[in-house]
Homo-oligomer: A and B are copies of this chain.
Amino acid sequence: MKVLITGIDGYSGWPLALHLLSRGHDVVGVDNFVTRKRVKEVGSWSATPIPPMPRRLAAVKEVLGKELRFYRGDLSDWELVRHLLETERPETIVHLAEQRSAPYSMIDVHHAVATQVENLTGTLHLLYAMKEVVPEAHLVKMGTMGEYGTPNMDIPEGFFEAEFHGRRDHLPFPRQAGSWYHWSKVFDSGDVMFATKIFGLRATDVMQGVIYGIRTPEITDHRLFTRFDFDETWGTALNRFIAQAVLGLPITPYGKGEQKRGFIALEDSMQSLRLAVEHPARPGEYRVFNQFDAAYSVNELAERVGRVAADLGLHPTIEHPSDPRVEAEQHYYNPIHENLLGLGYRRTRELDDVIREIFHDLIRYRRRLVARQHVLSATVNWRLPDSRPLLRARNAAGASPTPPPVDPTAPSSAHTVA
Contacts and interface: CB of A to CB of B under 8 A. Distances in A.
Contacts of A382: 198
Contact of A113 (B121, B175, B183): B121
Given A163-B153, A187-B187, A332-B167, A174 B176 contact: no
Nearest to A173: B174
A96 interface: no
A191 interface: yes
By size class, the interface of chain A is 35 or more
A109 B128 CA distance: 6
Number of copies of this protein chain within its complex:
2
Nearest to A120: B116
Interface in A120-146: 120-121, 124-125, 128-129, 131-132
A155 to B, nearest CB: 8
A135 to B, nearest CB: 9
Contacts of A110: 78
A402 interface: no
Interface string A167-198: 11101111111101001001100110010011
A326 interface: yes
A117 B121 contact: yes
A371 interface: no
A415 interface: no
A162 B153 contact: yes
B131 A113 contact: no
Contact of A172 (B124, B169, B174, B197): B174
A164 B156 contact: yes
Contacts of A112: 124, 128
A156 B167 CA distance: 13
A154 interface: yes
A416 interface: no
B177 A174 contact: no
B162 A78 contact: no
A164 B160 contact: yes
A199 interface: yes
Nearest to A176: B172
Contact of A191 (B117, B160, B183): B183
A124 B194 CA distance: 23
8 contacts: A109-B125, A117-B117, A117-B121, A153-B167, A171-B176, A177-B190, A187-B187, A198-B326
